[in-house]
Amino acid sequence: MRARRLRASLKGWGGVAAMAVVCALVAVFALCVPLYGPGTVDGQAVAQSARVKAEKADEDCEAPEKQTLSPSSADGDTIQAIKNREGDKRKLVVGVDQNSYRWGYRDPNSGKTAELEGFDIDLVRRIAEDILGDPKAVQFKAIPTNQRIPAIRDGRVDMVVRTMTINCERIADVAFSAPYFKTGQQVLAPKSSPITGYDDTLADKRICTAAGSTAYSTLEADQKKGELPATADISKTVPNQLDCLVRLQLGEADAVVTDGALAASQAAQDPTVQLKGDAFTAEYYGVAMKKDADDLVRRVNQILVDYRKDTANGWQASYDKWLSATLGKDPEKSKPPAPLYLRTT
């Protein structure tokens, strides 16, 4: 079906939590950090508004994960403005997810505070510690998938650390750090489903994706090229990935397409669903910032260099804590390649 299908398997998920955990998480999330953007989004409308720009970006763009600035520890105007914030406002303002299990989420069993935790949250705290000297000097803002770029461009956040894939369309709007994680799009469906992967078994199936996600844009492009059955229904999207899992549980969708790393975590939340087939893309997560925030991009890249080297409290330790149970003990397939920087000055 697809010549570019990649052979990557995710293993190690299992009965970490049942469907009751999902419902509990959703209930807690509704009471926590305020969300930006509408409650529902038509994926076709989102794609339509960005299509011309995306096509132009694709023409001029190759290997977007390599188009970043060289590392530096210097303080520029952007970083100095963050440090100059006074009192309680002297914090790094970061857009995150609060309902992606093991990435950025609130564990309802962790106590009354139910602080945000997960792989992305560990990275945010490391960045805050480096820039402001305090890993807790963070103001978290929970934002849905389709509001990540608007939140950056409007200045609502300093950066977004939210399982955000670096791609050609997005680098036209925001600047990215070097990659900090490697994954790929994958299909999630009930164990009893006849769906076998990203193939003809998706014909006549209702596929759920998050609005503004690379999953939706990939499905739309593949359907036009005939690489996804024309009868597959991709018309309905949701603000957040967890909403797709809920739709799957309610019988309102037949399958979910999302990053394999997120899909594995959703499978861990619900033992009645599983990953179907292999990953069919290769994608890289990066920290997103404003286009003109060169000093902040360079600083984050320097932090990532140090974070990868820190075996005791860095990338490896965070992977072991949050992701090894769902993605397997061997992290090599999730490690991005050594960074190649676009500019050195």
Q: Any idea what the CATH number is for the domain that residue 255 is in?
A: 3.40.190.10
Domain contains 36: no
110/171 same-domain check: yes
243/313 same-domain check: no
261/315 same-domain check: no
Q: pLDDT by residue (tens digit) across 251-285?
A: 999 999 999 999 999 999 899 999 999 999 999 99
309/262 same-domain check: no
Q: pLDDT by residue (tens digit) across 24-70?
A: 443 333 333 444 433 334 444 444 444 444 444 455 678 888 889 99
198/296 same-domain check: no
Domain contains 16: no
242/151 same-domain check: no
124/93 same-domain check: yes
Domain contains 5: no
Q: pLDDT by residue (tens digit) across 96-122?
A: 999 899 999 988 777 667 789 999 999
Domain contains 33: no
DSSP tag of 189? E
309 CB-near residues (< 8 Å, 6+ apart) = none
179/78 same-domain check: yes
Segment 118-124 long-range contacts (CB within 8 Å, at least 24 positions apart): 118/322, 119/181, 119/318, 119/319, 119/322, 119/323, 120/96, 120/161, 120/162, 120/163, 121/96, 121/161, 122/318, 122/321, 122/322, 123/161, 123/180, 123/287, 123/307, 123/318, 124/92, 124/94, 124/96, 124/161
Domain contains 233: yes
Domain contains 237: yes
Distance CA 70, CA 340 (A): 8
Domain contains 216: yes
221/174 same-domain check: no
Domain that holds residue 208: 185-276
| Count of structural domains, the chain | 2
Is there a contact between 66 and 340 (Cβ–Cβ < 8 Å)? Answer: yes
**Residue where a domain stops, chosen among 276, 311, 334:** 276
Q: pLDDT by residue (tens digit) across 148-191?
A: 999 999 999 999 999 999 999 999 999 999 999 999 999 999 99
129/259 same-domain check: no
Is there a contact between 270 and 191 (Cβ–Cβ < 8 Å)? Answer: no
266/191 same-domain check: yes
Domain contains 116: yes
Model-wide pTM > 0.75: yes
117/73 same-domain check: yes
